[in-house]
Each structure stands twice: as C-alpha cells, then as structure tokens.
Amino acid sequence: MNNALTVQKVIQDPLDNLRHFLGVKTEVVAEDARRIGQLLLLETSSVHRSERALEKKLGEIIEATEILRSVQDAFPWFKVLLLEVLRNRVQRPHGSKRALADFTEDDARKAGRAFANALIANVTAVAAVDEWAMTYPTLGQLEQR
C-alpha cells in the first residue's frame, strides 16, 4: 500500500511542479529546454500510437507552456516541427538552408522527420542535436533567439 501511494505521490509532485514552472516561465536556458523535452515526452507517451491524439495533446501542452506558446506564436510551423520529432520516424533527411523568417511548415515537417536519423547516427543526444542544427541552420537561429 505504501509503495502504491507514496511512490506515485513522489513521482507526481515533481511533474506537477515542472508543469507549473514551465507554464509561467518566459525565458529559457539550456536546463529549461531539457525539462521541456522531458515534459513533452512524458505527457505524450500515453497517446503516441494515435496520430490525432498526439497532435491534440501537443497542442494542449503548447497552449499551457508559456515558452512553447510564444515560439508557436512567432513561428506558426513550430508545432509541425515538434509533432514530427515526437513521432520519431526514421526518414531520409532533406537539408534546408532557408533563413528563420523563410522557414515553412513543409521545411519544419522535413526537419522534424530528420531528427530520428540524427539520434541514430550519434552517440549522444547533444551530438545529435548539433548535427540536426547543422543540417537545418534555421534551428540554430531559433535556438539563438
């Protein structure tokens, strides 16, 4: 009984705190980005098999997270990028040299689909993200903003 209740409470409290913290924070540092990634994976893991449910859940997370909402407002293709990253399908990467201001939903879809390849091809997640940003310089520009 203790394990069933206490362990669940210990796990749930930090997740609730993380949701609240990310919901109100307006500036992001590297550690926040990692936490946002963890939150996205945790929150979408139960709906991963359903395309429609995944897209709906991602929309809810973006709406509830100030940082993600502000990026989505500035770059309407952002949700498409995250959706393809979360789908985690191995696809042939198509690089893009478009500037941040010229990036389209189609570019975002291709970039998001290429992320799984970068994860497979690299030993660490940091190296994978670096390779991904080199293939899609717009992502590096987005990170700098």
Indicate whether 32 and 82 sit together in one domain: no
pTM assigned to the model? 0.74
The separation between CA 101 and the C-alpha centre of its own chain, rounded to angstroms, equals 20
Indicate whether 90 and 114 sit together in one domain: yes
Indicate whether 3 and 41 sit together in one domain: yes
Quote the domain boundaries for residue 93. Answer: 75-145
Indicate whether 124 and 90 sit together in one domain: yes
Indicate whether 90 and 112 sit together in one domain: yes
Which of 74, 94, 123 is the last residue in one of the domains? 74
Task: Give me the pLDDT at residue 8, please.
Answer: 45
Which of 74, 89, 111 is the last residue in one of the domains? 74
Task: Give me the pLDDT at residue 55, please.
Answer: 93
Q: What residues in the chain have per-residue pLDDT under 70?
A: 1-30, 93
